Amino acid sequence: MLGTTITGDHIVLRPLNKTDIENRVRWFNDPNVRKTLIISERFELDKTIRWFEKIQHDDSRVEFAIETTEKIPVGVIGLAGIDSTRRTAEIYLVIGQKEFWGKGVMLEAECLLIEWAFNSLGLEKIWAQARPENIASLITMKKIGFQVEGTLRSEKVVDGKRTDVLRLGLLKNEFKNTAGR
């Protein structure tokens, strides 16, 4: 699905385009980023370009580039598994430019996307997955209103090691749009 441009106070979410793919591959392969992600495969440029072309026509997925208001791309955020019958989707994000960590980018990006997902896409529940050691992510999601719904024990293999995965959920009426406040 093609997204739209969503403008916040400090960042802008804009539909991902082909020129973002190189950054996306670099960010997802960065060892510092991977430390808290739940992925085991390495990202490759040609495969990611093919993936990007496919998702343009896939109503179950949408991804945005996160840019500063000065148009510096700092990461990506998206929805996967958009289910228009159950009105649910999984949210994910990566801030690839580490100099932008600790500045509230995650909080603002998630608030902008969730607001759009509930009000424009008509979703009623957003869910997320996080590793238990991903403190920044868990703290931020809690501020937004997410609740931990369970621990999937030894659920995934990341870089050869099994890891627990926390499953978090946010219902529409629980959403606290705390960005910029």
Ligand X SMILES: CC(C)(COP(=O)(O)OP(=O)(O)OC[C@H]1O[C@@H](n2cnc3c(N)ncnc32)[C@H](O)[C@@H]1OP(=O)(O)O)[C@@H](O)C(=O)NCCC(=O)NCCS
Question: Which residues bind to ligand X, rule: CB under 6 A?
Answer: 33, 36-37, 93-95, 101-102, 104-106, 130, 134-137, 139-140
| Structure tokens belonging to residue 126 | 């957003």
Closest to 29 in 3D by CA, of 99, 83, 100, 94:
94
Distances (CA, A) of 156 to 53, 67, 69, 128: 27, 31, 36, 15
Nearer residue to ligand X within complex by CB, 23 or 134:
134
CA distance linking residue 131 with residue 120, whole number of Å: 29
Q: Smallest gap, in angstroms, from Cβ of residue 180 to ligand X? A: 12
Q: Smallest gap, in angstroms, from Cβ of residue 176 to ligand X? A: 14
Q: Smallest gap, in angstroms, from Cβ of residue 173 to ligand X? A: 23
Q: Smallest gap, in angstroms, from Cβ of residue 103 to ligand X? A: 6
Nearer residue to ligand X within complex by CB, 32 or 57:
32
Closest to 65 in 3D by CA, of 28, 24, 106:
24
Nearer residue to ligand X within complex by CB, 53 or 133:
133
Q: Give bridge partners of residue 147 from the DSSP assignment.
A: 169
Nearer residue to ligand X within complex by CB, 106 or 123:
106
